[in-house]
Every structure is written in C-alpha cells, then in structure tokens.
Amino acid sequence: MPSSTMTSKGQITIPKEVRDDLGLEAGSTVLFVKVGEGSYRMVARTGRIQDLAGILQRSDQRPLTIEEINEGIADAAAESGRRGLDADAESR
C-alpha cells in the first residue's frame, strides 16, 4: 500500500502509483471529502469543462434551438407565476 510522510509545513508528496491511478499531473486539483469522523476521501479533479459537452443529450432527442429553449423558459416562468397567483387566492 502506498504511503507518504507529511512535512513540518503540512505538505505530502502523493506517491507516483497513486498519481498515475488518479490521472494527476502538475496543477491538478485534489478535493478532500469528509466521509466520517477522522476519515476523508481524496478525489481528483482532473476533468476539463470540454469533457462535459453533450452529457445531458439523450440519444433519442435532437438538440433544441435557442428559440425553443427560450420558449420553454418563458412557459415555465408563466406556469410558476400562475401557481403563485393560485396560492395567493387560496390564502385570502
């Protein structure tokens, strides 16, 4: 099992085996997520924003146009406003 020793300045060198496994390179960000009392999980943030392109796209759905997106937003806002009016009427 890889191990490392912390310096007096609180720095730890991540062993090469672990860096390679997590895909870490100079400049990579590492998150420390608390998973329990005295226990943390180290999570590598190695992805690029470009890696997210298309993740919400369903294979059975064509991409929407800007006009279609704006229409959907307007419809949802109008529906939300109607729900607000209904709630006001009930409270009177």
Residue ranges of the chain that CATH labels 2.10.260: 1-48
Distances (CA, A) of 53 to 28, 35, 50, 59: 20, 30, 6, 14
At 11-32, the pLDDT tens digits run 999 999 999 998 898 988 899 9
At the top level of CATH, the class of 1-48 is: mainly beta
At 28-43, the pLDDT tens digits run 889 999 998 999 998 8
Global confidence as pTM = 0.47
At 1-14, the pLDDT tens digits run 999 999 999 999 99
